[in-house]
Amino acid sequence: ALLINDLCINCDVCAPACPNEAIRMGETIYEILASRCTECVGHFDEPQCVEVCPVECIDPDPDHPETREALLEKSLRLAGER
């Protein structure tokens, strides 16, 4: 999963770009729900939030390192919930 750091300016550009509805406004800045972030695996070649963020404040989440395989599995599970 990816992580939004405190440089976030709450511009709300990333949330609608996320294919997994993994991004929402948190207490002070936007947050990524690790359980829903597939790093865009299964949808796009590049993480869409990273592509659109104007201040480049989205990094890999050190607490949630995942293999591409695990991310694809998560993507399939999320697709099954729809």
Binding site residues, ligand SF4, CB under 6 A: 2, 4, 8-14, 17-18, 20, 22-23, 30, 32, 37-40, 47-49, 52-53, 55, 57-58
* Residues 53/14, Cβ–Cβ less than 8 Å: yes
CB nearer ligand SF4, residue 13 or residue 72: 13
CB of 8 to ligand SF4, least distance (A): 3
CB of 67 to ligand SF4, least distance (A): 15
* Residues 40/31, Cβ–Cβ less than 8 Å: no
Q: Rounded to the nearest 5°, which phi and psi values hold at 39?
A: 55, 25
The rounded distance, in Å, linking the Cα atoms of 44 and 17 is 11
CB of 72 to ligand SF4, least distance (A): 12
CB nearer ligand SF4, residue 9 or residue 79: 9
Tokens linked to 1? 């999963």
